Amino acid sequence: MDIAAALAIAGQAIGLVKDLREIDKGLDTAEYKAKMAELYSSLADVKMALSDAQMALREKDQEIHELRAKFELRTKLVEVDGFRYETHESGKPKGVPFCPRCEQNSSRLYRLTRFKGMIIYKCPECNAEYKPVHAYPWTETDPR
């Protein structure tokens, strides 16, 4: 059973308990009323727990989506002289590479930025400097 269905059933059960409370007005058994109150409280707890679980599952789904996107990007990278670049449709590198240190240490991709002129590039995250770094065109030129 999925969480949405469980929440719907728990909501219906709470509605039934409310209806039973209304029917019970003619009865005067304190124990019966205490049990009904306990059942109502338990069902409310179940509904809250299922709601929390649903939120946790949504967060996990979002995290899985982000990890898949990162994995897909990594499969499209090409390595040139120790640096990893995005690729054009042809498989040739494009743009500025990602920081090899951050990729190795934290498995994150941070694109290097120009630091001093055209020669030195720096990682905005770990501040590592790299020289020389080759930057490729972002658009692929027409081979004709």
pLDDT in tens, 50-93: 888 889 899 999 999 988 988 888 888 999 999 999 999 888 99
| Distances 83 to 22, 114, 131 between C-alpha atoms, Å | 72, 15, 11
pLDDT at 144 (0 to 100): 37
pLDDT, tens digit (0-9, with 9 covering 90-100), for 96-106: 999 999 999 99
Banded pLDDT at 26 (limits 50, 70, 90): low
> Which is nearest to 104 in space by CA: 126, 124, 122, 88?
126
pTM: 0.56
Q: Residue 94 forms beta bridges with which residues? A: 86
- Average pLDDT of the chain is 83
Q: How big is the chain by its Cα radius of gyration, in Å?
A: 30
Distance CA 26, CA 28 (A): 7
Q: Distance between CA atoms of 79 and 113, rounded to whole angstroms?
A: 18
Query: Cα–Cα distances in Å, from 22 out to 18, 32, 36, 69?
Result: 7, 13, 11, 53
pLDDT confidence of residue 71: 84
- Nearest-5° Cα angle at 15, 9 to 19: 140
DSSP for residue 142: P
